Amino acid sequence: MAVHPIDYRYGSEEMRRIWDEKNKLQKLLDVEAALARAHARVGNIPEESARVISERANTNWVTLERVKEIEAEIHHDIMAVVKALSEVCGEHGKYVHLSATSNDIIDTANALLIKESLDIVLRDLRELRSILKNLAREHKYTVCIGRTHGQHAVPTTYGMKFAIWLDEIQRHIDRIEQAKERFLVGQMSGAVGTMASFGGKGLEIQCLVMEDLGLKPVRISNQIIQRDVYAELIMILALIASTLDKIALEIRNLQRTEILEVSEPFGKKQVGSSTMPHKRNPIRSEKVSGLARVLYSNVIPALLNNPLWHERDLTNSSVERVILPESFILLDEMLKSMKKVLSGLEFFPENIERNLYMTHNLVMAEPLMLKLTENGMGRQEAHELVRQIAMKAFYEKKDLMDVAKESEEVRRFLSDEDFESLKPENYIGLAPQIVENVIAHIEEKEQK
């Protein structure tokens, strides 16, 4: 019976399958098999034993049902796996789990699960990057009003919005690629990390196992890989979630009835409300913002898992059973939802223009001030003069330029030609060039 929504509602089948009990069991068996092969290569066990263990270290031989049956008797999850594998290996079973401690298997298996999960996350990030790159290029000249503190500021472009998000997504890709060498590590270090149980061959065996599994060997551990590694991982996943939350929040605001510059795609048969048939709610973006809160909350337990008693205790274990699959599966849902939103984003050009001119050119106060300064008025004097003109225009509900033209002081410095140039569409600075610079940077990254 499914209880948690990640079992049936959130995340792709591909991501859920990685964290499924059966796949997690398979990863534990993969590590046990690699350990047996390493022992055989250094001459600790017969090659035939390593072959049989490797051949039978899979869920066709070692079933999840049998492992659970044993665990119910002995109350130890890894020993249940060891016993289940040993019993199907016959006389060769005596070499299963030789010299290892539980977390040699668990932490190394976790690295395999994390590796598979990060591959999906990176793929989605790259696809999202491509969508944003196209949007940035397409809308680099789409002029809109910029907002600070929720108030109209000065003009910007939609290309700038998309390029900012694009650049941020690239940083997340870079973060993951740079951190992989810290995340994708395994260990074979024994009970407290000294490798005493491996005799003098511990380092060699650890390297062989990790080479076999496509991981890097940890430099040093006690009984576990240190949990600052997992904390960094969860924080990066939460940071990605914060970017998706940022994008979703902007789209939700821009889709408000009073603004309605852009909108999530809305299906022909989609229902917005059970009682209000007219509703077009930004449900995907709201879901993204909501799920981000769960990922944020997983950062604290991940940090608390780092300080453990002495060489380790078990307080991290139960937490990681929850936050690792939950964080990856929920982020997977968020990424795929945001790809759908952005790839089908609907624009309302008439509303973009309406909002740009909504304040009757009050948003042109800065360029008006700068034009006065450019023509000889002192900057502070120009600021105060335009402030007074702006307040007059606001309270009298007049166009800023009309009020400015009535000012003798302004007229001393500005001609009709100057006023003609003071239009929102002309005040986007180097926005298109900035957007192109970002796109060029991204395309350079894509080539690597």
Q: Which of 75, 197, 263, 273 is catalytic?
A: 273
Among 320, 355, 390, give the residue marking a domain's end: 355
Euclidean distance between CA atoms 101 and 6, whole angstroms: 31
Same domain, 251 and 295: yes
Same domain, 34 and 116: no
pLDDT computed for residue 268 by the predictor: 78
In the predicted model, is pLDDT for residue 273 greater than 90? no
Residue 120 domain flag: yes
pLDDT computed for residue 122 by the predictor: 98
pLDDT computed for residue 270 by the predictor: 81
**What confidence category does residue 326 fall into, taking pLDDT thresholds of 50, 70 and 90?**
very high
Q: Which of 149, 274, 278, 310 is catalytic?
A: 149
The DSSP secondary-structure symbol of 218 reads P
Give pLDDT tens digits for 62-108. Answer: 999 999 999 999 999 999 999 999 999 999 999 999 999 999 999 99
Same domain, 183 and 73: no
pLDDT computed for residue 228 by the predictor: 97
The DSSP secondary-structure symbol of 98 reads T
In the predicted model, is pLDDT for residue 154 greater than 80? yes
Same domain, 123 and 35: no
Same domain, 309 and 246: yes
CA distances from 38 to 74, 91, 109, 276 (A): 28, 19, 16, 65
Among 338, 355, 372, give the residue marking a domain's end: 355
Query: What is the domain-level CATH number for residue 71?
Result: 1.10.275.10
Q: Which domain holds residue 78?
A: 19-95
Q: Which among 223, 230, 227 is positioned nearest to 306, based on CA atoms?
A: 227
**What confidence category does residue 343 fall into, taking pLDDT thresholds of 50, 70 and 90?**
very high
Same domain, 123 and 246: yes
Same domain, 90 and 201: no
Query: What is the domain-level CATH number for residue 187?
Result: 1.20.200.10
Give pLDDT tens digits for 218-250. Answer: 999 999 999 999 999 999 999 999 999 999 999
φ, ψ for residue 404, nearest 5 deg: -65, -40
Residue 268 domain flag: no
Strand partners, 147: 152
Residue 312 domain flag: yes
In the predicted model, is pLDDT for residue 279 greater than 90? no
The two three-digit tokens of residue 303, written as one number: 């940090």
Euclidean distance between CA atoms 340 and 284, whole angstroms: 9
Residue 4 domain flag: no
Same domain, 239 and 325: yes
Q: Is 149 a catalytic residue?
A: yes
In the predicted model, is pLDDT for residue 267 greater than 90? no
In the predicted model, is pLDDT for residue 272 greater than 80? no
Same domain, 249 and 377: no
Euclidean distance between CA atoms 259 and 287, whole angstroms: 21
Q: Which runs of consecutive H residues, i.e. helices, occur in 57-157? A: 64-74, 77-88, 102-138
pLDDT computed for residue 85 by the predictor: 98
pLDDT computed for residue 275 by the predictor: 79
Task: Out of 66-70, 88-92, 200-204, 280-284, pick the least confident.
Answer: 280-284
In the predicted model, is pLDDT for residue 307 greater than 90? yes
pLDDT computed for residue 278 by the predictor: 83
Residue 267 domain flag: no
Same domain, 249 and 398: no
Residue 147 domain flag: no
420-442 burial by CB neighbour count: b if 16+ within 10 A, else e?
A: eebbbeebbeebeebbbebbeeb
Q: Which among 60, 59, 45 is positioned nearest to 93, based on CA atoms?
A: 45
pLDDT computed for residue 56 by the predictor: 98
Query: What is the domain-level CATH number for residue 395?
Result: 1.10.40.30
Q: Whose structure tokens read 């951190």?
A: 179
Q: Is 297 a catalytic residue?
A: no
Same domain, 81 and 160: no
Residue 448 domain flag: no
What is the residue-averaged pLDDT of the chain?
96
User: How many other C-beta atoms can be found within 10 angstroms of the C-beta atom of residue 377?
Assistant: 20
Task: Provide the domain count of the chain.
Answer: 3
Same domain, 73 and 220: no
In the predicted model, is pLDDT for residue 148 greater than 90? yes
Residue 286 domain flag: yes
Among 95, 126, 160, give the residue marking a domain's end: 95
